[in-house]
Amino acid sequence: MKERFCFQPTALDGVVVVERRPIVDERGWFERLFCARELESLTGGKPIVQINRSLTHRRGAARGLHYQRPPHAEIKIVTCLRGEIFDVAVDLRAGSPTFLQWHGERLSAGDGRMLGIPEGCAHGFQALSDDAELFYLNTAEYAPASEAGLHPEDPRLAIAWPLAITALSPRDRVHALIGASFEGLQLEMNRTGNTIADDEP
């Protein structure tokens, strides 16, 4: 059986660009957005438990950078259904050789590309077009008590956003800058396979 996904690693361990391989004929095309078996190397076999969708109306607006602390850390697979975005993952994993480094990818409707973001990474994006629509696959449910975020313009991260950020949500606007004592998220596994302990930025 032909594999429907192609994987391209990035400089951040576990952050992967996934290219979908559609079936094309004179009628159009058919593509697979998710397959548990083919994407197991990305999800670690964890089930997708939540599927989300967002629409960002204005070019230049940003969302994020969001993450969930253990034990609700999540893997995300993100694709763009309409318009174009600059999608960013930031490594927050304690002890990682790329700790506090970021990786960004342009994703656009019809390019057949997704960004896979592992546990322990923050995620955010900037709309590069009006009415940018995203589709997210998540391995953990939204857990408000475990929710956290980084400021997208934190100078310690120095993310090279393609455009000046023109809009943030009230929540994202007040995310604290990363303190000197921030050591990252501890993602050690307990006997049940759940992530444990965490630290604040």
Active site residues: 66, 136
Sorted by where each starts, the structural domains of the chain and their CATH numbers stand as: 5-174 (2.60.120.10)
Chain Cα centroid distance, residue 138: 9
Q: What is the pLDDT of residues 148-177, one digit of tens each?
A: 999 999 999 999 999 999 999 999 999 999
Q: What is the pLDDT of residues 84-143, one digit of tens each?
A: 999 999 999 999 999 999 999 999 998 999 999 999 999 999 999 999 999 999 999 999
113-117/16-20 β-pairing: antiparallel
Size (the chain), residues: 201
Contact 114, 77 (CB under 8 A): yes
Chain Cα centroid distance, residue 85: 12
